[in-house]
Every structure is written in structure tokens, then in C-alpha cells.
Amino acid sequence: MMQSKLKSVPPKPTPGAQTGAEKPSVNRRPVLQVEGVDKVYANGTVALKGADMTVREGEFVSLLGPSGCGKSTLLRIMAGLGDVSAGQMRWWEQGYDVVGDTGRKLAFVFQNATLMPWARVRKNVRLPLDLDHSSRPDDVEKSIDEALSMVGLSQFQHAFPRELSGGMQMRASIARALTTQPNLLLMDEPFGALDEMTRNKLNDDVLALWQARNWTVVFVTHSVYEAVYLSNRVVVMAARPGRIVDEITIDQPYPRLPDFRVSTEFAGYCRQVSQALERASALGEEASI
């Protein structure tokens, strides 16, 4: 099982952990570390080879790559869903004493909304609290109300999922992740199936929530624009075998408003990331020949 490999290693003292303001994403405390992780499926498919990465407190990291590059696999490993074939995942527990330990402070948003179709929105949103009684907030109803109002679904709390649009279903899914007040949010191509306008709107919403809540987010996407718009850091992956090939820091201030989408800096970063992605897929093709 995964748990046996999740060793609780006490954090090494990070020099200058709280002081370095000029390069925040480097000096922040690590939340989790992936070290030389391989994932080989029973049929022999190598989904992930030698993945190394560190996610730091408060970061917004995107995993970007073509289909089959193992980005979702890596995210699922981070969520504790599924075993690793080699290497290890380390949780840095200082200040995150519950992360990885009970799974409770970690929330996962799937590619589709993954709502229970038989339950109304409110019941869907409260699911994590119903499943895990151990560390419920004092006022369950209030925390659900908050989560619903944050994603703008208060009015639709008594609707069934099928009565909502795709974007609203995704919002409900995000609200469900919010109720646990996570400090690590894992999102697996959450807006991949939505139209561009809804997607942009939800990107802005997620960014606003991220800033308000001081989360750490790992976001899987195959859209260069989405990755650049959202992230502090874009981790570029290649396929066959799935691996991490590049890392690009998006050194732009937040809040990033829709104007950022049409700025020259944005275009520059997009070009840089696209080139890294092209190099990555060229590597992938070499590997498959």
C-alpha cells in the first residue's frame, strides 16, 4: 500500500525559510517531495519514470504535457491513490501535521465533476464531511454554506447535478473540495471539458480562492495558456515513458487579471512553455522510435 511508502521524514531545516521575499517559490517550505518515482502498470506500461519534484507551501504548480505523459498518474500518486513502483513520496509535515496522514487536508478535483447524480448539490458538497467525522469543522452547516457561496452556487444547493450546466457542476465539485478546508488542492484537468469562456471564468475564480485561502495547488492541464495564466511554476512533462523534462517559473505578480491574458509577458511565457513542450514531445518521439 501507498501508506507504507509515505514515510514521515522530519523536515530538514531550510535555510532562510521565511525570509527570502525576492524568490518566494524557492524559499518556501516544501509540502511534498516526489523522489525518483516510477510507476509501472501491471501490463508493463511505464507511466512514470524517475519523477523528481518538490511542491512548496502556497505554490500554484501546473503539470503540463501531452496525453500519456503521466501527469495524471503523478497527481494521483500525490493524492495517495495507487502505489509507486519505485522511489518515494515524502510529506513535509511541519505545520501540515495532517497532510498525508489522514488525507483530510488534501482535496482532489477530477476532470469531470464526479458528483453523485442521486444527491442534491448540498449533499454532494458535504460528502467529505459525511465520510470523515474525525476532524469536522465545529459548524458543518456553516462551512458548507461558505463553500457554496464561494463558488456562487448558494441558490442551486437544492438542485440535482443534472439540472446544472457543466460549469456549474464543476463549481459544485470545487465547493466539495473546499468544505474540507484543504491546504493542498490537487486538480486533474478540471476544466478540460468546458467551453473557453466558462473555463476562463473558473480560472479566475480558482486564482481568487487560491489567494484568499493560502492554498497550495497542483494543477494538471494540457493547455499552455491555462498553465501560464494560473501558475507560479509550470512543470513540463514528456511521454513514453512519462517523465519530467523541464520547469519554467512564471515570474509575474498576482492578482493576475484578464488583462494579463493579452499582455506581451503572457505571450512570451506561452512561447517559452510551448517550445519546452515541443522539445519534450520531440524527445518522446525519439524514445518511441
Q: Which residues bind another protein (CB under 8 A)?
A: 76, 79-81, 102-104, 106, 108, 110-112, 114, 116-119, 127-128, 130-132, 160-162
Nearer residue to another protein within complex by CB, 25 or 179: 179
Nearer residue to another protein within complex by CB, 112 or 154: 112
Total number of residues shown for the chain: 289
The minimum distance between CB 103 and another protein, in angstroms, equals 5
Nearer residue to another protein within complex by CB, 58 or 80: 80
The minimum distance between CB 102 and another protein, in angstroms, equals 7
The enclosing H or E element of 211 equals helix 196-213
The minimum distance between CB 110 and another protein, in angstroms, equals 5
The minimum distance between CB 130 and another protein, in angstroms, equals 7
Three-class DSSP category at 234: strand
Q: Give pairs for 70-74: CB < 8 Å, separation 24+.
A: 70/39, 70/237, 70/239, 70/241, 70/242, 70/243, 71/220, 71/237, 71/242, 72/111, 72/188, 72/189, 72/220, 73/39, 73/47, 73/48, 73/242, 74/34, 74/37, 74/39, 74/48, 74/237, 74/242
Nearer residue to another protein within complex by CB, 101 or 204: 101
